[in-house]
Amino acid sequence: MPSDIVITGLDIGTTKVCAVIGEFDDEGNLIITGLGTSPSFGLRRGVVINIESTLKSVTAAIEAAELMSGREVSGVFTGIAGNHIEGTNSRGVVAVTGKDKEITQADVDRVIEAARAMAIPMDREIIHVIPQEFVVDGQGGIRNPLDMIGVRLEAEIHIITGSVTSAQNLVKCVNRAGFRVEDIVLESLAAARAVLSKEEKELGSLFIDMGGGTTDILVYMDGSPYYTSVIPIGGAQVTGDISIMLKTPVDSAEKIKREAGCCYPALVEKGQDVIIPGLGGRPPLALPRGDLCAIIQPRAAEIFTMARDKIEAKGFAGKLSGGVVLTGGGALLPGVVELAQDIFGSAARVGIPARLGGLAGEFQSPDYASAVGLVMFGAEYAQPGAQEAGRDKPLSGGILTFVRKWLKNFFE
């Protein structure tokens, strides 16, 4: 593996932009060598609303990561999120045409094409096509059908779509900042790549990425995503509640939330006070921490309740033996695991990015999960043979190649 390859994951969020730089060491292992963050001012609920502000934030985050790593960034793997993201399950069927009815890569490509041949509005585009399982002559549960003998091949897939304009504006911001977009990846999918174990994906898990503007949810079963959805509430709404109820500026409310916030009353000890800065020359006030918790807890409970209602409506409740995994900046809030366990009636944990070499202590935090996951996706892109397989055009329809790499890296 060439040691001069620089892989950059760029997580453009509602409240902050995070850039993570990864490289390969002499043994070919992925290591993290740079990390940079910058406040985000040009997005609302995951969607770009001000290109100039966004590109400034992107530039600042990448420059900080470059300074730490000592490497220059040219291309990035960018995450995409927002209310416009939708997930759909689809099924395709084809006849096997290979010699002696042996299933070839061409047959797999055709059945994937058949499964993704669904009506999509003109203002939307496919971001990911992810195989869930293959069925050969009625025998299901097959992960990779290559070289099997059969007459009829079926595929069940998960299709993730997004707004064309949202993706274009994201690419435009990165390009105008002076960087090339290598590929666009759903942020929650990238974060899950970084924090979920293989066992959790197999058993069935609810993955919740608690961002600033939105909360993204993914349901994994049998190793693959089966449900994708977005809740239009995130950490910014919690901060807004604190700002309104305590009559303090948003910046102060965010600081109070980070330093003293809690969303589970049982964890708050009596006698603990929070200092609320005064405005206009007024003296600061002391507020019982329990009162602050009473402001935060209802909003956090609302997010989890909406997620629970969504998976119950889809029939996934009771099938998630792997429990609930929380990540994103919202997962840093004390009490979030206990609250999730109460609402979902299942075990829960905070997802930390996989332990890689390099700056291990710096990125081992749930709010870096998406950016680290994007680097991990980029590392797969950089594997030998990826370019020869046609992966050099990831933004212009490299879906089938993505499927091949998914089979190789996720179903082996």
- Same domain? For 55 and 176 the reply is yes
What mean pLDDT is reported for the chain? 86
CATH number, domain containing residue 102: 3.30.1490.110
Which range has the worst mean pLDDT, 14-23, 162-171, 315-324, 399-408?
Answer: 399-408
pLDDT for the residue numbered 2: 52
Residue 2 in domain: no
> Could you say which of 350, 380, 397 is where a domain stops?
350
pLDDT for the residue numbered 155: 94
- Same domain? For 372 and 329 the reply is no
Domain that holds residue 368: 7-83+164-192+354-410
Distance CA 225, CA 201 (A): 8
Examine the pLDDT at 377 and tell me if it is beyond 60.
yes
Considering only CA atoms, which of 152, 143, 257, 165 is closest in space to residue 210? 257
pLDDT for the residue numbered 402: 45
pLDDT for the residue numbered 213: 85
> Could you say which of 350, 372, 388 is where a domain stops?
350
Residue 329 in domain: yes
- Same domain? For 270 and 141 the reply is no
Contact in structure between 96 and 226 (CB atoms under 8 Å): no
Residue 74 in domain: yes
Q: pLDDT digit string (tens) for 81-137?
A: 888 899 999 999 999 987 788 998 999 999 999 998 888 888 888 899 999 999 999
pLDDT for the residue numbered 383: 65
- Same domain? For 188 and 210 the reply is no
Percent of the chain with pLDDT over 90: 49
State the total domains in the chain. Answer: 3
Distance CA 211, CA 232 (A): 10
- Same domain? For 338 and 362 the reply is no
SS (H, E, C) the chain: CCCCCCEEEEEECCCEEEEEEEEECCCCCEEEEEEEEEECCCEECCEECCHHHHHHHHHHHHHHHHHHHCCCCCEEEEEECCCCCEEEEEEEEEECCCHHHECCHHHHHHHHHHHCCCCCCCCEEEEEEEEEEEEECCEEEECCCCCCECCEEEEEEEEEEEEHHHHHHHHHHHHHCCCEEEEEEEHHHHHHHHHCCHHHHHHCEEEEEECCCCEEEEEEECCEEEEEEEECCCHHHHHHHHHHHHCCCHHHHHHHHHHHCCCCHHHCCCCCEEEECCCCCCCCEEEEHHHHHHHHHHHHHHHHHHHHHHHHHCCCCCCCCCEEEEECHHHHCCCHHHHHHHHHCCCEEECCCCCCEECHHHHCCHHHHHHHHHHHHHHHHCCCCCHHHHHCCCCCCCHHHHHHHHHHHHCC
Residue 100 in domain: yes
Q: pLDDT digit string (tens) for 204-252?
A: 999 999 988 889 999 999 999 999 999 999 988 999 999 999 998 988 9
Band of the pLDDT at 359, cuts 50, 70, 90? low
Residue 359 in domain: yes
- Same domain? For 364 and 346 the reply is no
Point out which residues pair with 12 in neighbouring strands: 17
Examine the pLDDT at 255 and tell me if it is beyond 70.
yes
Q: pLDDT digit string (tens) for 121-159?
A: 888 888 999 999 999 998 988 888 988 999 999 999 999
Distance CA 79, CA 9 (A): 8
**Virtual CA dihedral for 255, 373, 224, 231, nearest 10 degrees?**
30
Examine the pLDDT at 187 and tell me if it is beyond 70.
yes
Structure tokens at 273: 């006070």
- Same domain? For 305 and 256 the reply is yes
- Same domain? For 71 and 183 the reply is yes
pLDDT for the residue numbered 410: 46
Residue 225 in domain: yes
pLDDT for the residue numbered 380: 83
Q: pLDDT digit string (tens) for 314-353?
A: 999 888 999 999 999 899 999 999 999 999 999 999 999 8
pLDDT for the residue numbered 54: 83
Residue 1 in domain: no
Residue 378 in domain: yes
- Same domain? For 124 and 178 the reply is no
CATH number, domain containing residue 363: 3.30.420.40
- Same domain? For 153 and 26 the reply is no
* Strand pairing category for 86-95 and 139-142: unpaired
Considering only CA atoms, which of 71, 53, 13, 72 is closest in space to residue 37? 13
pLDDT for the residue numbered 397: 39
- Same domain? For 209 and 289 the reply is yes
- Same domain? For 224 and 90 the reply is no
Other Cβ atoms within 10 Å of 44 Cβ, number:
14
Place of tokens 């179903």: 411
Examine the pLDDT at 403 and tell me if it is beyond 60.
no
